[in-house]
Chains A and B, each alone.
Chain A
C-alpha cells in the first residue's frame, strides 16, 4: 500500500475512534457517577474517576422506588411481548411470503400503509378503550396492542421469501399440516432473523415510555422507565445526581447484556432485507 493509502487509513481510524469515544462516554460517565458518594463533585473532567467508590447510591435508589417490582414489570412486559410478537409476525410473514391467496397483495399494501399512521393519532380513544376494558394498570394494556406489528411482519416476509418452496411441497405430500410446515421446517431456518428481530423488539419494549406513562397509573405497576423518569423529584425533594445515575444504570444494564449476547445475530442482516425488497 502506498503512503497516501496508509495516511487515509489512519484518518479513518481516528474518526471512528473519536465517534466510539463519544458513543461510550455518556455511559461510562453514568456508571462512574453512580458509584460516587453524593458529596463528591460531578462537574469537571477532573472528577472522572470516583475517589471513594461505593454502592450506597444503589441501596438508596432502591429505597426511593419499588425498584424490584418495577424491574419485574419491565421484564414481564418486554419478554412476553417479544415472544408473542415474534411468533405472530413470523407466522403472518410466512403466510405473505409463501402462500398465494385472493387479496394477498391488497392486504399487504394495506399493512404497509398502516405504518404511515402515527400510533399517537388515536391516543385519546386508546386510553378510553383501555379504561373500558379494565386494562389500566395491567400488563395486557402494554402487551396486546403491539402483539403483531406491521414492521415486524414486513421484515419476516422479506426473510422467509428466500425459503425454498419445493421443500414445503414435499412436506405437504408427506402429509404435514401447514402449521407444522411453519414450525418444523421454516422456523429453524429463519431462526437467526428471528433472533435479530427479537432483540430489536425486546429493546423497543423495554425502552417504551409514553404508553406505560399513560396506562400504568400506580407506582407498583410502573415499568422501570416510568419509575426512573420521576427520580429527579421524588417525595417532593430533588434527588442527588449520583442516586439518579444508580437508577439509570439499573435500567440500561439489562439492555447492554441482551445486546452483547445477541450481537452475533447481526442486526444489519435484518435491515438488508428491508432495503432490498
Chain B
C-alpha cells in the first residue's frame, strides 16, 4: 500500500480509532507522562517545595545501602514466594476437585469458595488483625485452650509476615481457582479416559494430562500472581503497618512512606523504578522459561 492509500484507509476507519482513543489518551496523561516524569525525578533530590537538585545516580546508590529498603525487597520476595507456592497449589487442588461434573453441589461450593475474593481487603485485614491479636485474638485463644504457647503474631519481627501471608492466600486463592477451573474445562475428557485405559493412576494423570494441558493457564496465573504479589500494599499496611521495625514492610509501602510521609520525591521515584525493573525482569524470565518448556510439551503430545 502506498502512503496515500494508507492515509485513506485510516480516514475511512476513523470511527475505530475514535473507539479506542480514550484508553490511549488516558494512558498518555496518567500512565506514560508520570512514568517519564518519575524517571527524571530519580536523578533529583526534591521535597516538592524547594527547587529540584540534580544528584545523578545518588538515589540509587543510597537505596543499595538503605537497610529498610533491602528489608522491604526481602519481605516482598517472601510474600511472592509464599503466594506462588500456596495459592497455585491450593487453587489447583480446589479447581480439580470442583471440575468433576458428577460432583453434587458444585455450584453452591463455587459460590461460597469465591466469597473471600469479594470482600474488601481493608475490612478483612482488620478482622485478621483482631483474630491474630496477642491478648484477645481467636488464634491465641485456641492455642491457649489446647495448652500450647501463645504467640505474638503481629508484634514480633519473626512472625509478623505470617498474618500478611495468611490474609493474601485466603483472599486471593479463589480468584486463581476460578481461572484454573475454566482452564481445566478446556482439557478434553477423552485424554483422561485414554489415560485410564492405559492404567494411569491419579498422580500420573496429574503429571501427564492435567499439568501439560493446563500449562498456558498456569503460566498466566504465575505472571498475574507475580505482578500482584510484588505490588502488595494494603495487607501489611492494615495488619502490621509494616512493623515491628521493617519486618513486614513491603516495597510499595516503603515507596508510599518515602514519597508522602517523608516527602523525598526523588528517592521514592527511584524505589518505584526498582520495583518496575524487578517486575519486568521476572516477567521476561517467565516468558523465556515458558517458551522453552512449552516446546517440550508440544513435542511430547505431538
Q: Which residues from 39 to 64 on chain B have a C-beta closer than 8 Å to any C-beta of chain A?
A: 41, 48
B141 pairs with A128, CB closer than 8 A: no
A179 to B20, CA, bound (A): 13
Q: Which residues from 1 to 35 on chain B have a C-beta closer than 8 Å to any C-beta of chain A?
A: 6, 9-10, 13, 15-17, 19-20, 22-24, 26-27, 29-31, 33-35
**B264 and chain A: residue at smallest CB distance:** A124
Number of interface residues of B (CB under 8 A): 95
Q: Which residues from 106 to 141 on chain A have a C-beta closer than 8 Å to any C-beta of chain B?
A: 107, 111, 114, 116-129
Q: Say which one of B80-88, B173-181, B192-200, B293-301 lies at the interface with A.
A: B173-181
A125 to B136, CA, bound (A): 42
A37 to B126, CA, bound (A): 18
Which residues of chain B come closer than 8 Å to A16, judged between CB atoms? Answer: 94, 97-98, 109, 113
> Does B222 lie at the interface of the complex (its beta carbon under 8 Å from any beta carbon of A)?
no
Nearest CB of A to B263, in Å: 10
- Listed by A's residue number, 24 A-B pairs whose Cβ atoms lie within 8 Å are A12-B103, A41-B136, A45-B138, A95-B17, A116-B280, A117-B31, A120-B231, A120-B255, A121-B38, A121-B276, A122-B30, A122-B272, A124-B265, A125-B33, A127-B260, A129-B29, A153-B23, A209-B237, A210-B233, A214-B256, A244-B130, A255-B119, A267-B114, A268-B181
**B24 and chain A: residue at smallest CB distance:** A107
A231 pairs with B126, CB closer than 8 A: yes
Q: Say which one of B66-74, B182-190, B204-212 lies at the interface with A.
A: B182-190
Which residues of chain A come closer than 8 Å to B111, judged between CB atoms? Answer: 263
**B253 and chain A: residue at smallest CB distance:** A210
> Does B115 lie at the interface of the complex (its beta carbon under 8 Å from any beta carbon of A)?
yes
Which residues of chain A come closer than 8 Å to B256, judged between CB atoms? Answer: 123, 210, 214
In-complex Cβ contact of B182 among A91, A118, A251, A272 (8 A): A272
> Does A229 lie at the interface of the complex (its beta carbon under 8 Å from any beta carbon of B)?
yes
Which residues of chain B come closer than 8 Å to A127, judged between CB atoms? Answer: 259-260
Q: 0/1 per residue, A23-56, Cβ < 8 Å to B?
A: 1101101100100000001111100000000000
In-complex Cβ contact of A252 among B27, B119, B227, B252 (8 A): B119
B35 pairs with A121, CB closer than 8 A: yes
**B21 and chain A: residue at smallest CB distance:** A92
Which residues of chain B come closer than 8 Å to A88, judged between CB atoms? Answer: 22-23
Nearest CB of A to B164, in Å: 15
